[in-house]
Structure 1
Amino acid sequence: MELLERVTQYLQHHELKLITAESCTAGLMVSELARVPGSGQSIDSGLAVYSPEAKNRYLSVSFDTIDTFGLTSEETAREMARGSLDNSDANVSVANTGIAGPKPQDDIPVGTVCFAWAFRHDQKTYLATETRRFPGERNEVRLAAAHYALENIPVLHRQMLEGNLPIDR
């Protein structure tokens, strides 16, 4: 709970409004954050988008990106983060897509999760991506991925404020 409280306080202190675009974690990021009283003022919305069609329909993820790089890719996560930010009043977006289990898919091991964090600041968008592999069973992977994504919001936001996060557009 300490992690969730720290993230909520950070979001509130910096007047950040969060949207999530979750495939692997299926809404768990928002659900976990909502455990903290008062966190709702920092949450715009959370989208659980599993299928390629949902990623395209709600987040404008290109089918070409999915076909070229796969559902579990930083490129797909990047478009998920961009799309959710573009379609909301949020100024921070966190997206993930991956393989929680029980079996590997397309030679991608269980526990592989691709993340993207996007920040809107001074009429620019800043974006970071990362791929991680988490140990454990399906729900352990999902929870670890959700917490990892949330705990990196303050880290990456500070990097952006210091000029150490790339401008996406």
Structure 2
Amino acid sequence: MDIARQVVSFLRSRGLMLATAESCTGGYIASLISSVPGCGSCLDVGFVTYSPTGKAGFLGVRETTMERFGLTSEEVAREMSEGALRQEACCADVAVSNTGVADAVPGGGPPPGTQCFGWSYKLRSGDFVTFSETKVFDGDRNDVRRAAALYALSRVEHYYDSLRSVERTNGGEHVREQ
């Protein structure tokens, strides 16, 4: 079974809805999910926020976060995924975000293929538990984007399964996976 089908099956089995907040992947994560028959019961909304103004305006990513940590950072990815869940019309319980660089950045910056991810889960209390990771993928621009989208989906169930231990150990704070 492919990753998108596994995620749809997992979300449906738990009665969960997914939101995506994508930058570098440009909607690829939502597209993979939407390619699976029956995904309408678990895909709520997808945001593509490529620019800093889009991230700030639509997802509430703070300008200070972008300035301090850079657009390609776990801090921005976390604010993106939490921002998607905070949207008034969003009915999702889970949000996946991605921000990164697929190519070399003029004037320096993160290495090509650097991708930052956030996975946020809305608890019954209304609080969020958010996990984040940074990975570097090889290949050309579209290879990196595809690998990042698949990776983002591949961790949805993993982090869901980690929720109970995280809630007990740190009260639902942000968690950075090494």
Instruction: Describe the SS at the equivalent of 2:166.
Output: coil
Q: Which residue of 2 aligns with 1:46?
A: 46
- After superposition, residues 61-100 of structure 1 pair within 5 angstroms as 61-87=61-87, 88-100=90-102
Q: Does 1:55 align with 2:55?
A: yes
Distance 1:17 1:77 in 2: 19
User: CA deviation digits over 1:14-40, x for unaligned, max 9?
Assistant: 111000000010000010111110012
Cα RMSD of the aligned pairs, angstroms, is 1.4
Instruction: Give the match's secondary structure for 2:53.
Output: helix
Give the TM-score taking structure 2 as reference length.
0.89
Cα distance in structure 2, aligned partners of 1:140 and 1:40: 27
CA distance in 1, matches of 2:76, 2:143: 23
| 1:130 lines up with 2:124 in the alignment | no
- Give the equivalent residue in structure 2 for 1:156: 159
1:111 maps to what in 2?
A: 113
Gaps of 5+ in 2: none
Identify which of 139, 143, 149 aligns with 1:140.
Answer: 143
- SS of the counterpart of 1:94? strand
CA distance in 1, matches of 2:62, 2:3: 34
Residue 163 of structure 1 deviates from its aligned partner by 2.0
